[in-house]
Each structure stands twice: as C-alpha cells, then as structure tokens.
Amino acid sequence: MRRRSRSRKRLLVESRGQGLTEYALLLGGIALVLLVGILVFAGHLGDLFSKSTPQGPAFRPPASQASCDSHYVGGCVPSPPPKLDCAELKAFGITGVIHVVGGDPQGLDPDHDGIACD
C-alpha cells in the first residue's frame, strides 16, 4: 500500500509541476509580447512622458495686399498686432529688401536707415 500512496503522491507532484511549467511559459510569452510591443513603439515612448506646452493657433501672414502695413514697401508685412521680428518674417517667407516708409510700428529698422531687417 505504501507503494501505491507514494506513486499517487508522485503523480500529484508531477501534475502540479507541469502546471507551474505551463504558467511559467505563459508568463514568459506575455513578457515577450510586451517587450516586442515596447520595441516597436520605442520611437514614440519619449513623447508619452514628455511635457509639452499647449500651442495656440499659428499666425499666418496676410494673403491680400489690403492687410499689409503701408509703412513697409518691398514685402507684405502685416500690421500689428502681433508684433513681429525679423526672424518671424523670414519664417513666413517674407524676404528681400523691405523699405521703411514713415514710422516703424513693428520696430524692424532699429538703426533707422530706412531698410528693415538689414
């Protein structure tokens, strides 16, 4: 009888061991799938954890000559507001020689030689 009880115990232990092996393989598979998913999206993970400041609508230069400031000749410089600087004008594609006629509401001619952004 002792042999039978030992063999039953052995079967019970072996069946439990097999169950643990199956769980370990299942958890390993899940970990592998998660790892592959992380590697696939690795280029965008930094974006999830970085803080970004909300940006308002982008300012667009005026499309018609009617909204251009009459103090500037040679390029369509928009009337203030907003107050623009030379770098912003270049970003909008307003390039070339722009002459200042009369006042300089945008402050684009600090040396007062009559040429903006020189």
- Position 29 confidence tier, pLDDT thresholds 50, 70, 90: very high
What is the per-residue pLDDT across 63-73, written as a single tens digit (0 to 9) for each?
A: 566 578 888 88
Average pLDDT across the chain, whole number: 75
Reference 74, options 109, 42, 105, 98; nearest CA is 98
Query: Is the model's pTM score more than 0.75?
Result: no
Residue 27 is predicted with a pLDDT of 92
CA distance 65 to 6: 98
CA distance 92 to 86: 10
Structure tokens at 53: 């400041």
